[in-house]
């Protein structure tokens, strides 16, 4: 199974970029992993228009066969990191070709993205910036694989 | 109210250090804030002994009047970042002189620390490394102040 993350907007500040590189390097030992940042050419301060611009770009980068999972505060929550690792494992076992996680922009997702998505997940009850969510998600993805492979990372 | 974070062990890798500096800079606009890393001179691979070594060092850095809050997976959870900002606000209003948050080492806390602590809090149902918790906590602390001061950060 290939795992791809599509994130809207550039990662910043530098510590976020470096953290992404850090986890990317670790995750790619476990799966075919790709991180892609989509930067819209146009920008708008109007939330609805901004979400539509992001959505158009996002949809161009999705294939019909992709299983698309949004990181969304209204999404399914997990009781633990084990629970999340099981979620990843089930996707692997069900023969998904490409699993695409989407980290939205600062205004969230347009309705067209909710319609295209297969699932929504939420990693915390508290709100984090869409930049911090990148690190939080990647750490949990790495931790999930470490659990599935019985590596000791989850005691670190 | 002064807020101090005591964390066991050095921050690493570099992106964690840089993230701490990033949030430290932001948080100090709102309160007298100090971040201190405590590095035990001795080390042990035995969890119980390691926790005792950490505890001895921690207790040396606490004053009797400190209100001590442990970041602990068995701690009180928050429904939202607003909920956490209210927690901070109540501490300020109750006349606490110094609020000390403690981020433990990889094995958690010794019983003597649980006995000294006033409260335990947990920021997520999922497990994060004690390094990532540093960033997660600081982002929520900054977000908490931004909410209390009606700043737009929580929409970023």
Mean pLDDT confidence for B91-120: 96
Residues in chain A: 156
Look at the block and give the residue holding tokens 């590189």.
A21
Query: How would you write the pLDDT of chain A (156 residues) with one tens digit per residue?
Result: 999 999 999 999 999 999 999 999 999 999 999 999 999 998 889 999 999 999 999 999 999 999 999 999 999 999 999 999 999 999 999 999 999 999 998 899 999 999 999 999 999 989 999 999 999 999 999 999 999 999 987 554
**Rounded-to-integer distance, Cα A118 and Cα A35, Å:** 19
> In A, residues 118-137, which contact B (CB 8 Å cutoff)?
123-132, 135-136
Structure token pair of residue B131: 């390094």
Any CB–CB contact under 8 A between B142 and chain A?
A: no
CB contact under 8 A, B139 and A130: no
**Rounded-to-integer distance, Cα B17 and Cα A138, Å:** 18
**Rounded-to-integer distance, Cα B95 and Cα B100, Å:** 14
pTM for the complete prediction?
0.94
Which one has a higher pLDDT value, A116 or B152?
A116
φ/ψ region of B99 (left if φ > 0, alpha if ψ in -120 to 50, else beta) reads beta
CB contact under 8 A, B123 and A128: no
- In DSSP terms, which residues pair with B38 in a beta bridge? B8
Tens digit of pLDDT for each residue in B30-67?
A: 999 999 999 999 888 999 999 999 999 999 999 999 99
- Interface TM-score (ipTM) > 0.90: yes
At what angle are helices B14-27 and A14-27 packed, to 10 degrees?
150
CB contact under 8 A, B19 and A22: no
Alpha carbons within 13 A on the beta-carbon side of B113: 30
Structural domains in chain A, sorted by start: 2-155 (3.40.1280.10)
- In DSSP terms, which residues pair with A116 in a beta bridge? none
φ/ψ region of A126 (left if φ > 0, alpha if ψ in -120 to 50, else beta) reads beta
Is the pLDDT reported for residue B155 higher than 80? no
């Amino acid at each position: 199974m290939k795992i791809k993350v599509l994130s809207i907007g550039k990662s910043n500040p530098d510590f976020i970029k470096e953290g992404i590189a850090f986890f990317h390097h670790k995750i790619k030992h476990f799966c075919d992993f790709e991180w892609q940042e989509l930067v819209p050419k146009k920008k708008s301060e109007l939330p609805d228009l901004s979400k539509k611009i992001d959505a158009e770009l996002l949809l161009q980068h999705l294939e019909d066969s992709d299983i698309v999972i949004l990181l969304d505060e209204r999404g399914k929550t997990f009781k633990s990191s084990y629970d999340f690792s099981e979620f990843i494992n089930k996707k692997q076992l069900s023969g998904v070709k490409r699993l695409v996680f989407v980290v939205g922009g600062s205004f969230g997702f347009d309705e067209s993205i909710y319609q295209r998505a297969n699932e929504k997940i939420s990693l915390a009850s508290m709100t984090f910036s869409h930049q911090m969510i990148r690190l939080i998600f990647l750490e949990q993805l790495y931790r999930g694989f470490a659990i599935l492979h019985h590596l000791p990372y989850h005691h670190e």
